[in-house]
Amino acid sequence: MMRCRYLTRVFWLLLLFTFLSLSISLAFQGASPLSQILSSLQNYPPPITDAWDSTSLETLKSQNLSHIPQGCRSFLFGPWTPTNILSSLPKSVQIHTPNSDPTVMSQLSLSVPSVISYLHYNEHLSTHRYLCSIESAARHNPNHLIVIHAKNVTDFEEQLKVWRKGIVRSVEERVKVVELDYGKYFRETPLWEWYQQGKHLKSRWVEQNLGNGYRLALLWHKGGAYMDLDIININRLDGLGRMLAKEDSGKINNAALQFPPKDAFVWDLMEEFVRKFNGMIWANNGPVAVTRTFRATCPASSLLLMQSPKNKNNTDPNAPDAPECTNLKILPSSVFYPIHFLRKGTFTDPWQKHCKLLGRMQSGSVGLHWWHKLVPDGTRIPREGFLGKVMEVHCPNVVRDYEGELKEGDGVKEREKEKEKGKMDLGKEPVVIRVPAQRPKVVKVVVKQDQRKV
């Protein structure tokens, strides 16, 4: 009886509310009131500012987690690093910032625009795994615009369709796909002439090398962060400033970079790219070019930082850093490359085998580079494996929308095609580092040719 009366009351209240909102909307707007109510509902739940939305959290909480070690639990449930990942790193992790000047530093950080750029240079998206990077970046960086430069915008948008429909607007609306336009960005940079002369065509990996140049030209013109599509965001980018990140003790990678527009060091990177371009050596124009540029431009810092003994004598110990080295952060490998590319097995191991690593990543990594070469499109990603769990936590919507494909492997045809073309040549890494020729701006650089493998 009581229950019946209660329900009736709720019914009348609802009816009254609907009537009131209908008439208010009609009176004030003269527009379709129902669509307005619906659109206001679409903005709910409120913007996601963390790795979680309530659904995925509930799914995980419903599992019995009491036996899970601490590192794994904090990877699942936080605490999340509130703003600046660098301040939460253990003391033992040294961030090298030559001649750090806090005031200049904060000005530089302010001048880095809140844009994260990606590059997709194939005609068709070969795997939805790449969308995980986009979703995780959009979730972790609520103030950033996410811009994908795609060769085929129509195709990329097509592949995003399901995902766009299923995710909250606050995330979805910050993801833009624009046309990949080499000419537009190479113009007015050292890359223009190189491109015009068709030097990029003399290469086994034409697109990869164009991509290596494109990210530099893009950062030169627009600034912001650039990340490869096989980097999953774990934490936000805030506070990183001008940065490069080491892949290991001897090499800086170019898969994650951040600079303000018109940064002198980015210009150096482009000059070095053109000067030593060799399309026949894998990575020569990517990570190796960045490492070379750093060694040549910032010799004093690289003596301190790139301490692999075999390289020590290649640089004059007295050569000074160029001015653009000031306040350039060289992040340790744990920030973007927590898993070295020689540790391929980690990605498919059961996730709970690596709780310490996951704990460290949760508090000290901004991204996880999963090396597309190591996990090519056809490979299976077990849901309870390391990479599967990272994806479940950081891009729950992509996992939900494309789970079958993510689990079973996909893009097999694309991979076969690439194999035929000899593009998937794993045997090409590691690579030869060549020490740069004399750099005009820096005095007293002693140069030796170093042909050894790294």
Ligand X SMILES: *[C@@H]1O[C@H](CO)[C@@H](O)[C@H](O)[C@H]1NC(C)=O
| Contact positions vs ligand X (CB under 6 A) | 64, 66-67, 123-124, 152, 154-155, 158, 309, 312-313
Query: Strand 329-331 relative to strand 243-248: parallel, antiparallel, unpaired?
Result: parallel
CB of 91 vs ligand X, minimal distance in Å = 30
Task: Give the gyration radius of the chain's Cα atoms.
Answer: 25
CB of 62 to ligand X, least distance (A): 10
Q: Which is nearer to ligand X, 419 or 448 (CB)?
A: 448
Residue 413 identity (one-letter amino acid): K
Place of tokens 């609306």: 173
Residue (310 or 340) nearer to ligand X, CB: 310
- The minimum distance between CB 123 and ligand X, in angstroms, equals 4
C-beta of 262 vs 448, nearer to ligand X = 448
Q: How far is the CB of 47 from ligand X (least distance, A)?
A: 31
- Given the complex with ligand X, which of 154 and 197 has the nearer CB atom? 154
Residue nearest ligand X by beta-carbon distance: 155
Instruction: Please identify which residue in the block is written with the tokens 């969308």.
Output: 131
Give min distance, CB of 124 to ligand X, in A. 6
Tokens linked to 61? 């909480």
Least CB distance from residue 151 to ligand X, whole Å? 8
DSSP string, 134-186: HHHHHHH-TT-EEEEEES-HHHHHHHHHHHHHHS-HHHHTTEEEEE--HHHHH
Nearer to ligand X, 177 or 257 (CB): 177
The rounded distance, in Å, linking the Cα atoms of 79 and 66 is 17
Give least dist CB 310 to ligand X, A: 7
Of residues 258 and 302, the one with the C-beta less far from ligand X: 302
Cα angle for residues 218, 130, 266 (degrees, 5° grid): 20
CB atoms < 10 A from the CB of 152, how many? 18
- Where residue 262 falls (left for φ over 0; alpha for ψ -120 to 50; beta otherwise) is left
Distance (Å, whole) CA 183 – CA 10: 63
Give me 109's structure tokens. 């950080």
Rounded to whole angstroms, the Cα distance separating 402 from 398 reads 6
Q: Give the whole-angstrom CA distance, residue 420 versus residue 82.
A: 47
Pick 86 or 131: Cβ nearer ligand X = 131
C-beta closer to ligand X: residue 101 or 181: 181
Task: Find the farthest-apart pair of alpha carbons in the chain and give their distance in angstroms, rounded.
Answer: 94
CB 51 within 8 A of CB 394: yes
CB-CB neighbours of 150 under 10 Å: 23
Instruction: Give the three-state DSSP class for 350.
Output: strand
Shortest Å, Cβ 317 to ligand X: 9
Q: How far is the CB of 395 from ligand X (least distance, A)?
A: 22
By beta-carbon proximity to ligand X, the closer residue of 61 and 356 is: 61
